[in-house]
């Protein structure tokens, strides 16, 4: 199965939710810290876009922080679960779409979020993905990316091992799994976007109207925050 179809065809909806249900304590801490930091960057009047919203895990928190939230994903089954279980009121909207060709006008959002290593997990061209998020971000707004800190490698491996043991992922190929890359024998491959990768990518943007900040949170997440000036 191609990597870019894994989450839409094998790891979606209930199966994806199960990955988070079984997360061990250190992973829960990482997830909480990542979300707390991301939401701290959102203002109450912001229109927010989350790329790769999955089954809607963080959409309610985003709606509490901003004014309106749009979540997109390639998996119809995940979006259906989000609609049925996580969406209440009229402040959250869902759309099946691909992150590298967003169906929105230029400067449509105050904050665009690509969290939890989406820049690697989406299996899209990182530069195209970043440029597309910037395109739909308003002047003064933020494009927010996060990946894993190398300090979280052991915690990340514990989490992925639990997912593999439950059959949510294929058997881990321990001989090939190293240096920030997790490889499963069913073809699944999880890579990592490092701080150096973010620096190289943002430098290649060659746009004068951008302000870039990179930071580590909780010794588990690397955030790359791009402000459109």
Q: Where are the domains of the chain?
A: 3-228
Q: What is the pLDDT of residues 86-103, one digit of tens each?
A: 887 789 999 999 999 999
- Is a pLDDT exceeding 90 seen at residue 7? no
pLDDT at 8: 63
* DSSP assigned state of 172: B
Residues 6+ apart with CB under 8 A from 137: 107, 109, 110, 111, 112, 143, 226, 228
Residues 199 and 215: their CA atoms lie apart, in Å, by 11
How high is the mean pLDDT of the chain? 94
Q: Above pLDDT 90, what percent of the chain?
A: 91
pTM of the model: 0.95
CB burial string 111-138: b at 16+ within 10 A, e below: bbbbbbbbbbbbebebeebbbbbbbbbb
pLDDT at 5: 63
CB atoms within 10 A of CB 187: 12
pLDDT at 207: 86
Query: With contact defined as beta carbons under 8 Å apart, do 21 and 122 qualify?
Result: no
Residues 6+ apart with CB under 8 A from 52: 7, 72, 73, 99, 114, 115, 116, 118, 121, 122
Kindly state the average pLDDT of the residues 63-91.
92
Closest CA to 82 of 70, 64, 94, 66: 94
pLDDT at 1: 47
Q: What is the pLDDT of residues 140-156, one digit of tens each?
A: 999 999 999 999 999 99
Q: What is the pLDDT of residues 168-224, one digit of tens each?
A: 999 999 999 999 999 999 999 999 999 999 999 999 998 889 999 999 999 999 999
For the chain, give the number of residues.
229
- Is a pLDDT exceeding 80 seen at residue 4? no
CATH of 3-228, one of 3.40.50.2300, 3.30.420.40, 3.40.50.1000, 3.40.50.150: 3.40.50.150
pLDDT at 90: 83
């Amino acid at each position: 199965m191609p990597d870019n179809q894994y989450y839409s065809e094998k790891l979606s909806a209930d199966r994806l939710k199960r990955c988070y249900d079984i997360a061990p304590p250190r992973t829960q801490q990482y997830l909480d810290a990542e979300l707390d930091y991301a939401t701290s960057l959102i203002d109450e009047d912001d229109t927010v876009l989350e790329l790769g919203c999955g089954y809607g895990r963080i959409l309610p928190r985003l709606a509490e922080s901003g004014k309106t939230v749009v979540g997109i994903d390639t998996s119809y089954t995940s979006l259906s679960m989000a609609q049925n279980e996580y969406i209440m009121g009229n402040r959250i909207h869902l759309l099946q779409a691909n992150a590298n060709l967003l169906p929105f006008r230029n400067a449509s959002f105050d904050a665009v979020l690509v969290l939890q290593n989406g820049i690697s997990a989406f299996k899209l061209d990182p530069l195209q993905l970043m440029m597309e998020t910037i395109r739909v971000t308003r002047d003064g707004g933020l494009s927010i990316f996060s990946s894993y800190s190398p300090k979280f490698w052991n915690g990340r491996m514990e989490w992925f091992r639990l997912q593999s043991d439950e059959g949510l992922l294929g058997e881990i190929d321990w001989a090939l799994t190293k240096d920030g890359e997790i490889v499963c024998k069913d073809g699944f491959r999880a890579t990592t976007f490092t701080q150096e990768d973010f620096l190289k990518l943002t430098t290649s943007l060659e746009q004068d109207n951008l302000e870039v900040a990179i930071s580590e949170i909780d010794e588990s997440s690397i955030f790359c925050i791009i402000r459109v000036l």
